[in-house]
A and B are shown apart, each in its own frame.
Chain A
């Protein structure tokens, strides 16, 4: 049945090799850069022959860089910490708010339910600056400017629609009959939700949480507008780091690697759910 000729098979392989090279090369090259000293980075022509060194990573972890010219402080570790704090708490808040709402939308068709669900979805598509710019002025007035609380609140714009629509899909896939049976046995609504619905939708909720974490981690514009230096996550911090460290290219590369490693690792781990998450629950993988 297979009509593919030898030539076609080789052409396919060649095309795939080109594609993999194009998409993998930048990551590969940045990792290589992060393992080099500035001298080997600046060699011309560039070469892949060098003795790998972990000095760049050690300098970042120690928060201190001593070169032969001067010594300077690096607080990139602080940015990493902020990324973790912001992403974890945003996802936690979004799960607490989004999962019950998703359950309500999946199980109860109530008046205005679709309108509310779509309003929440529409936040995903509006220009973020439209909300962020007036918000900077408000935050200054009510004292939320440059606080984790204010940032976590705004991060709900990304996390909440994602969790709501993915988890809603998972609840809709579970037959309500099991829950009815449990209710008839005399259990309260809350017990049914906790003992039946939540465990059944568990994997979906976990996947939605992971994806929300990745998107929160990768966000740039919210923190750029709302956070000052000591609250900035890695995406904004890395850019400031470039300005501050000037020509320490090895360190910049190491900082980029440290910033993208967590999301890449999580994505590989949760890749089974990525299709569904990226399409906000419209396409199954």
Chain B
């Protein structure tokens, strides 16, 4: 189809339209997904329970107004923020520590960093299932360890006191490698001259860390932390697979609460209003994230 006989032959698509034609299919597929988004806004302004179709009608902002005096909503907000905050801080500290330990490019370090990727590649829902098996009161190995340590009544996910700890533990197990791998890539891409100069001047290593490593690594830390925060505030898989939001309402984060509202109490209006509040939070976060992410991306492309 490409004979060289006619160098200036006309093409099927004019060059000006070409980029649009190329990106149109991807865009169309996604517009199909934008329609439900608009529908969700519409539903959130309605009194709408699937079990009471006769009682449906617009109530404008009432679903949102009700949240102000709804203790369940404030509980959801609190649990989501505590969950997201604690997972991101723990994973950041642990991930940074591991990255610093593995910084040198030795065969052993490379091997360990590859091994540590395995939890990250495990489906979070299945990771929760694995921990559920390991914390089973009858035969779970972690329950046994706790008994040996003297906590004979440590009930993991099934007690309101330890449920949050249990899901945070699973989250840390799955996602710390994410922080580790990004920060390790960042650490290894830093220029070596400042460190050599500091070593020559006899700067103590702790001071090197605070004065050189940390500031230079900051763009990576920010991007990785924001990335995790965006995912963590929406966590569903781990919590749903572990306790379905229970016991009671201890782990009712946004998406779990919305899911149960929709499918169990069939309250579509409240469910979509909850999700839109979550969306507003992630929208703000993702704008901050994209700015940092773009800066990092340009640096990676330019520096390569």
- Show the binding face of A for B, using Cβ within 8 Å: 1, 3, 12, 15-16, 19-20, 22-24, 26-27, 29-30, 33, 41-46, 96-98, 100-101, 103-105, 107-108, 110, 113, 116, 118-123, 125-135, 137-138, 153-154, 156-157, 160, 164, 169, 172-173, 185-191, 214, 217-221, 224-225, 234-236, 238-239, 242, 249, 252-253, 256, 259-260, 263-264, 266-268, 271, 274-275, 278-285
Contact = CB atoms under 8 A, between A and B. Distances in A.
10 contacts: A27-B118, A27-B122, A100-B23, A130-B275, A131-B40, A134-B272, A156-B33, A187-B2, A189-B18, A264-B118
B129 interface: yes
Interface residues of B, number: 103
Contact of B4 (A172, A185, A263, A271): A185
Contact of A129 (B9, B19, B259): B259
Instruction: Give the residue among B23, B102, B254 with the most A Cβ atoms within 10 A.
Output: B23
B297 A218 contact: no
A156 B29 contact: yes
Interface string B248-279: 00000011001100100000100110011011
A135 B131 CA distance: 32
A96 B36 CA distance: 24
A275 to B, nearest CB: 5
A42 B139 CA distance: 5
A170 to B, nearest CB: 11
Contacts of B138: 42
A108 B176 CA distance: 38
Secondary structure of the B contact surface, majority rule:
helix
A251 to B, nearest CB: 11
A207 B287 CA distance: 27
A157 to B, nearest CB: 6
A116 B115 contact: no
Interface in B69-103: 97-98, 101-102
A19 B116 contact: yes
B189 A284 contact: yes
Instruction: Give the residue among B1, B181, B223, B296 with the most A Cβ atoms within 10 A.
Output: B181
Interface string B103-133: 0000000001011111111111111011111
A100 B138 CA distance: 54
A281 B9 CA distance: 37
B22 A103 contact: yes
Given A97-B26, A264-B122, A278-B120, 15 more contacts: A3-B205, A19-B101, A20-B116, A119-B27, A120-B27, A122-B286, A130-B36, A131-B40, A133-B258, A218-B123, A221-B237, A238-B126, A252-B133, A260-B121, A284-B304
Contacts of B11: 188-189
Contacts of B259: 129, 225
A198 to B, nearest CB: 13
B2 A188 contact: yes
Interface string B121-155: 11111110111111010110100100000000000
B261 to A, nearest CB: 9
A153 B32 contact: yes
A120 B236 CA distance: 22
Contacts of A45: 144
Nearest to A96: B25
B123 A156 contact: no
